A and B are shown apart, each in its own frame.
Chain A
């Protein structure tokens, strides 16, 4: 068993910060919240749309970045404007200049930012971010913090698991017992 007796709720505009040492179950908590893992006991109530940023980037390596993102954007909402939303999201993570580059040529940090762009493009109200700052440089961490802040200002919710210090104002700390 990883943890039990854990209970929290995040109202609109709130952020949850899951902290704790390696192996304590941060990623598992995120996956449970995403509906990918079943909890042995207990329930998860979530808004209708969720977006997940996990370790795997899930972008087709052979396709151009903007096309790979547009594929996911077309599943998230009206396919007609998927490409436009993908381009907007790429601009938000400062990747517009390499939008036409195939995903396989991207660096680790660029892939992480592309995965973040998918979350931005999804328009989901609940963001589930698993170690979002991994592989990001200082400037990109700032972008990440600003995007989360803007999402919360728009009434969105973010649940963030991280072992790196992230500046999330008034975030609710969710401590997993070891």
Chain B
């Protein structure tokens, strides 16, 4: 399990996927001031929501490289022959993906908050929300990746599969900025559901992909 997590982390780093997602995240947050104008009060008010929307979009970036390459290169076959459960493989991939996605994103959110002129208190809530929500996003990304692997145009299908399912995370995540603890608890509930369910969904999808 640890071996698999380390392997995925190394590949995520070496392929540049981690940096790409972060650059995309920052780019999306930079786009908003251009679109709505340099009104500091307005940006401070919508900034938290912008960060959340950008986080969900950035979570979509690495979906194609999470499972697809391992299916094609026969890595999943070799793991299955060794009796490694594919759900465990999926769980390892979720952990590895979160480690390469969650904490870096939380760091990037500090930069984004500076760019948007977000108040410190709001930033605190956003960071707490991201800490709770990004495991859910990571789980969803791995499950989506397993589901769309092998399809033609997997990247575009992935967006259609993943973004609707990420809406609850977005609602409660962005909602926690005004809604407080209640929204954070609901965010945690959604994230927990995704983290608990995704390994089995992804495992079954990978198994189906082999046949």
Contact = CB atoms under 8 A, between A and B. Distances in A.
Interface residues of A, number: 24
10 contacts: A35-B80, A36-B81, A38-B211, A51-B81, A52-B78, A54-B74, A71-B3, A72-B78, A75-B84, A79-B3
Contacts of B74: 54-58
B1 to A, nearest CB: 10
Contacts of A51: 81
Contact of A52 (B3, B7, B14, B77): B77
Contacts of A91: none
Contacts of B7: 60, 71
Given A57-B74, A59-B73, A60-B11, 19 more contacts: A34-B81, A35-B80, A36-B80, A36-B81, A36-B210, A37-B211, A38-B211, A50-B81, A52-B81, A55-B74, A56-B72, A56-B73, A58-B77, A58-B78, A62-B15, A71-B3, A71-B7, A74-B3, A79-B3
A76 interface: yes
B54 to A, nearest CB: 29
Nearest to A55: B74
Nearest to A122: B82
A35 B84 contact: no
A35 B81 contact: yes
Interface in A30-48: 34-38
A35 B84 CA distance: 12
Interface of A: 34-38, 50-52, 54-60, 62, 71-72, 74-76, 79, 118, 128
B41 interface: no
A62 B14 contact: yes
The secondary-structure label for the interface of chain B is helix
A161 B80 CA distance: 20
B75 interface: yes
Given A52-B81, A62-B14, A57 B210 contact: no
Most buried by B among A54, A62, A74, A75: A75
Contacts of A50: 81
Interface string B69-112: 00011110111111010000000000000000000000000000
A58 B73 contact: yes
A75 B210 contact: no
B15 to A, nearest CB: 8
A58 B75 contact: yes
B128 to A, nearest CB: 36
Contacts of B75: 58
B150 to A, nearest CB: 14
A22 to B, nearest CB: 20
Contacts of B82: 75-76
A72 B76 CA distance: 12
Contacts of B15: 62
B44 to A, nearest CB: 43
A162 B77 CA distance: 20
A72 B80 CA distance: 12
B204 to A, nearest CB: 13
A54 B211 contact: no
A153 B107 CA distance: 58
